[in-house]
Amino acid sequence: MNLAGKTIVVTGAASGIGAATASLLVGRGSHVIGVDRRQMTLSHQYQADMGDPLSIDRLVSSLPDGIDGLANIAGVPPTAPPGDVIRVNLKGVQRLTLELIPKLSDGASIVNLVSSAGNRWAQAIDQIREIEEVDWEDVDSFSQRHHMDVEGRSYFFSKEALLVWTMRNGRSWIERGIRMNAVSPGPIDTPILDDFIQTLGPRAQRSLDATERLGTPDDVAPVVAFLLSDESGWLRGANLCPDGGLGAHMALSEFGLD
């Protein structure tokens, strides 16, 4: 993968998949700009809160022009308040991405970290359509109205909606050669894994049992890097799934074929 010399923004770069992706990109010769609420081990970093629209606006105004890639990896787990989950995992990603489009180079790549939790997006189409019209300050009322506090629903919904948004915008900036794709990992051994087990209980355990081992950030980072590279130029609106076979198992099990 030819990533040398590319300027790439990585959100959530302080830990987990974001940190692994940033490290891999630096090793491939990229100029990485890390974004997180916490300190990072990168030469170029910005502190920002993806759940705060004003923080995102300040970040965008501070970032340089000529960005070749954006990896939207920052996110919060289902133990966070439902409104915060939707704001950070969905609304924040959308706001940052759309505001950064003018600063992206022609031919740039946008990669959104989704999740196997978003696989059943087709069952949430009505709510996905509705959230598109919901303003930032109305997310909490949306969450209450749709019971997003039940069994981590806010997290699943945020990833379903983000996946649909990715697919719909894969070609939105085609005249400039800018593409958008998604990566949907399965269960990953990161600091927030316990949050999923705590929230989802047996449901989380079934997902863990469907794979031979937990994934690691290093299993996912190369997939993100591939989508940021020129070699993935024909992919638009795609969703790559480093999930240990979980997605295939879930899809087949719905029809009794697992």
> How far is residue 257 from each of residues 68, 209, 244, 249, measured CA to CA in Å?
42, 17, 18, 9
User: Over the range 144-166, which residues count as b (16 or more CB within 10 Å of their CB) and which as e?
Assistant: eebebeeebbbbbbbbbbbbbbb
Q: How far apart are the first and last CA of the chain?
A: 35
Q: Which of 72, 68, 43 is nearest to 56 (CA)?
A: 72
Which residues pair with residue 39 across a beta bridge? none
Q: Could you list the active site residues?
A: 155
Its sign, for the CA torsion 85, 86, 92, 93, is: positive
For residues 224 and 182, the answer to whether their CB atoms sit within 8 Å is: no
